[in-house]
Structure 1
Amino acid sequence: MFYSVVASLYYPGDTAGFLWFLIVSVGVILAICAPQLMLCDVRKLQPKRHPVSNSEIIQMTTIGQKFETEPVQYHDLHHHAEVSGLALFLNPRFWLLFITTGAFASLGQMYIYTVGYMVKALVTNTFLPPVDPTAEYVPMDIVIQQEQQVQVGLTSIANCIGRLLAGILGDIITQSFQKPRGWLLFIPGFGLVITQIMALSITDPHHLEWASMLSGFFYGFTFCIMPIIVGDVFGMENFSGNWGLVGMAPIAPSFFFTNLFGKVYDQHTSTTDLGTNICTLGNGCYRQVFKLTLGVSVFSILVVSIFNFGELYLASRPNERAKANTKQEK
């Protein structure tokens, strides 16, 4: 991210100059940090051991027993018995998480892969006549490069913040409010709806920064909180395999949305006199794709609602209560 910002601000269009700065800066960082890696003390310090009397051991044990606390019990955290293998595929909650992960992650990945083309379309549209004669002229290619680097940097920063905040909120919602972490899936759900609307409506490349930050944030949020929820719901004994299966969900939809974006973008391009393909419609080059992804994001909120409240709804139905009472009597 740091080098992306430096390249866009100080070395626009100057690849050789940027590479020179990159080499020098790496050398400076190495020179500054190398002393911190020196082993100043090679002696193995042996910890001093002091004999402890039996009375002290008994006393410590007694004190420890007095202050033992009961484990914290959380209410309705969606934690069930260990689930894996065929039982995982027969569990409806697995498919709800699979669909949610596929929707959230694929929308984030599509944006990351295609934001460069979005910048190019928006910047190209601003260079069409009429052009402000008082504005300082900057070659279009340099402006596109600068904006693309800024979008990538902002997305990376927001991605990191989203991952950090997801972990913090996951602990707060369970420990302070005794609620399941699955409720946090509404945050990226509604957030992605907002980002799709922004992508549909933004016509100024400078305003695209907000969409990039939000997309990166909710993408990072999703990939931090989702494995934790998988562990809560299906247990930790087979966590690696379970999360591996859920983590495969974005592969197909991400491939589909990214290719769809490319096809729609190519349909709106035209060939210039120099033989290059260019799209001059601004956000019209890709609006059709974000209309579809907006529907997907709204549908994902419905899936998250079923995941969190579906069991409560079924339990509230008279027939389900009667079945539960019959099982208890048996």
Structure 2
Amino acid sequence: MATATTTTTTKAAAASRWKVLGGALLVITSGGTVYSFGSYSSTLKSRLNLSQTELDVAALCANVGTYIGSAGFVVDRFGATNAAYLGSVLIGLGYTGLWLLALSNGVANPAFAVSFSCFVWGHGAGYLDAAAISVSIKCFPKHRGAIVGLAKSLYGLASSLVVLLAAYVVGQTTLIAVLASIAFVLPAWNAPRLEEAPCPDEDERATADRIDRAVLRVVFLAIAAAFVAILRVVAPGAWTSIYANLAVSVLVLVGLVAVTSFAPGEQRRDELRELLAEETVGSSIAGTIDYAPARAVREPTLWLLFVSVLPIAGAGLATINNLGQIMSARGAATGTQDVAVTMVSVANCLGRLAAGRLSDALSRRGLPRTGLLVLTSAIACVAMLELYATGTSISLALVGVVAIGGAYGMLWTLIPTLTSDIFGMRRIGSNYMLTLPSVVLGSVLFSTVLASTVYSDHESRDDDDDDDDDDSDTCTGSACFATTFLVTAAACLLGTLAAAALTLKTRHLYQIK
């Protein structure tokens, strides 16, 4: 009788943590809508008469709000559910503010109002991200790499899904209202599911198989999104019908439900596997150490992680934020620019999934996950050098930006995973937030300062050399970003060395006992 009761309890706990994961995936998808800013920023710019600099500052305020760091402390102190509620309110208010601004006939200080609204929804997204990641890692400690990769892939893919869901059905202004509704309702509805579930003694191979199935669904969803986006460019006439766009919207919803649902039938199949599978996951001390944030900031490993993350984040954000200009400077048509955006988005998603799968594979073999950070930094370095060396080649530019998108995606899986490995899972929310200022600093240094300054400098030179009175704010030629690529490549090389030092310093954590 006792054995039967224990088995029933274990199965209930297993079902509970999969339910938590489903809710966490929907919550983090809501947070990922922050990447859709480019889909409606042109409307804000034209309606409120904003300059490009003012728009860039608004985007920076959103990044600062997302990565300011307080969300993790709230998650650890008040729980993931309360943090998700708070995040849903903030992100909903921020988007609503932007929507009202877009509808207005003008306000006293539109640049400040837009920047403030962006900070609010960015800050709300930070709470959703921290809540979902924290509870997912705690529910699946032995598979935290793959789980973080799965969650972060949806965070990166969310903007593409939202654009496919609504942007082609409604206008840009109404799209902001749709974002406000989705970003408020979805996390608020799923917040109660984020109560931390017990971690049962499940067969780990069966659990890994189940996670792999969810990963495959995300891969199919990402490929389908890319296929539809490219079709819109090469065959725009096929999408003039409202019914075609509504069909895509329905398919996006069905795909999202498929990714975030873990059916009872799957659970029964997993239970059959558990009778046959052998335990293959070793045990190491990674993730078992409990560092308070005050102690973590005094550890050299935190600062090595900080220095390793900074240039990769800078390279990724400088490329993503300036992708249109990078391609147009090489003479790419608008359609090619749209394809580049889609390819980078998909590479970002797949990079997050790949990093999660690879990191767990390394950990199971007693190898340091931090070695993947070395690889990620090296990829970013080589990609930046490739962009520098290929001049005005459009096809080779696509190769470079896709590589950067993949590396940037890998980074976002590695940050919380490595943080939990090095500093423990108990305070993962707080310690995760300690590393995120490196992302903000990377954005400021490499995107806002370096890339913008170099581009503007060569833009002004083009204007001086132009005999016609052309006021277009564009720069053409390889010089527009050459210095940015070279300096960022050098920074990524230094980041690679820092990541190698981190790997050497933490390799003992992963040794299987």
Is residue 419–residue 432 contact of structure 2 (8 Å, CA) maintained in 1? yes
- CA displacement at 1:7 relative to structure 2: 3.0
For 2:98, the equivalent position in structure 1 comes to none
Q: Which residue of 1 aligns with 2:359?
A: 170
Question: TM-score, normalized by length of structure 2?
Answer: 0.46
Aligned to 2:470: 274
Output one character per residue of 1:203-239: Cα deviation in whole Å (capped at 9) or x when no partner: 2112211112111111111111221111011000000
Deviations 1:32-66 (A, max 9, x none): 79999xxxxxxxxxxxxxxxxxxxxxxxxxxx9xx
CA distance, structure 1, for counterparts of residue 281 and residue 246 of structure 2: 52
Partner Cα separation in structure 2 for residue 293 and residue 110 of structure 1: 9
1:10, distance to aligned residue in structure 2 (A):
2.0
How big is the shift at 1:85? 2.4
Change in Cα spacing, 1:80 to 1:35, as seen in structure 2 (3 Å) is: closer
- From 245, 252, 261, the equivalent of 1:26 is 245
Q: Which of 222, 228, 232 is the aligned partner of 2:421?
A: 232
Deviations 1:254-281 (Å, cap 9, x if unpaired)?
Answer: 122112211211111223433324423x
Indicate yes or no: 2:363 matched with 1:155.
no
Counterpart-to-counterpart distance in 1, 2:296 and 2:485: 33
Unpaired runs of 5+ residues, structure 1, are 12-16, 37-63, 124-142, 314-330
1:1-330 alignment runs, 5 A limit: 1-11=226-236, 20-21=240-241, 23-29=242-248, 72-74=282-284, 79=287, 81-123=289-331, 144-175=333-364, 177-202=365-390, 203-259=392-448, 260-269=450-459, 270-271=462-463, 272-280=468-476, 282-310=477-505
Deviation of 1:172 after TM superposition, in Å, equals: 0.9
Shift in Å, 1:28: 2.5
How far apart are residue 248 of structure 1 and its match? Answer: 2.6
The 8 Å contact of residues 78 and 180 in structure 1, kept in 2 or not, is answered as no
Mapped contact 1:8–1:145 kept (Cα < 8 A)? no
For residues 216 and 273 of structure 1, do their structure 2 counterparts lie closer, same or farther at Cα, with a shift above 3 Å needed? same
Task: Kindly indicate whether the alpha-carbon contact (under 8 Å) linking 1:159 and 1:219 is maintained by their aligned counterparts in 2.
Answer: yes
Contact 2:351 2:408 in 1 (8 A): yes
Distance 1:35 1:114 in 2: 32
Structure whose CA Rg is larger: 1
C-alpha change, 1:69 and 1:174, in structure 2 (3 Å) is closer
> Against the structure 1 CA distance between its residues 304 and 273, is the aligned structure 2 distance closer, same or farther, given a 3 Å change threshold?
same
> Which protein is richer in helix relative to its size?
2
| Structure 2 contact 419–428 (Cα < 8 Å) conserved | yes
3-state SS in 2 of match to 1:268: helix
**Identical residues among aligned pairs (%):** 22
User: What secondary structure, in the 3-state scheme, does the structure 1 residue paired with 2:438 have?
Assistant: coil
Gaps of 5+ in 2: 1-225, 256-274, 509-513
- 3-state SS of 1:250 partner: helix
Asked if 2 retains the 8 angstrom alpha-carbon contact of 1:98 and 1:249, the reply is yes
Matched to 1:251, the amino acid is V
Q: CA RMSD in A?
A: 2.9
Q: Matched residues in 2 for 1:78 and 1:227: separation?
A: 13
Determine the C-alpha separation between the residues in 2 that align with 1:287 and 1:311.
36
Checking the alignment, whether the CA contact within 8 Å between 1:108 and 1:215 is kept in structure 2 is yes
Shift of 1:8: 2.0
Structure 2 CA distance for aligned equivalents of residues 154 and 81 of structure 1 = 39
Aligned-pair distance for 1:145? Answer: 0.8
Q: What amino acid does structure 2 have at the position aligned with 1:28? A: A
* 1:136-162 deviations in Å (ceiling 9; x for gaps): xxxxxxx52112111111101111111
SS of 1:197's equivalent in the other structure is helix
Quick one: distance in 1 between partners of 2:374 and 2:280? 32
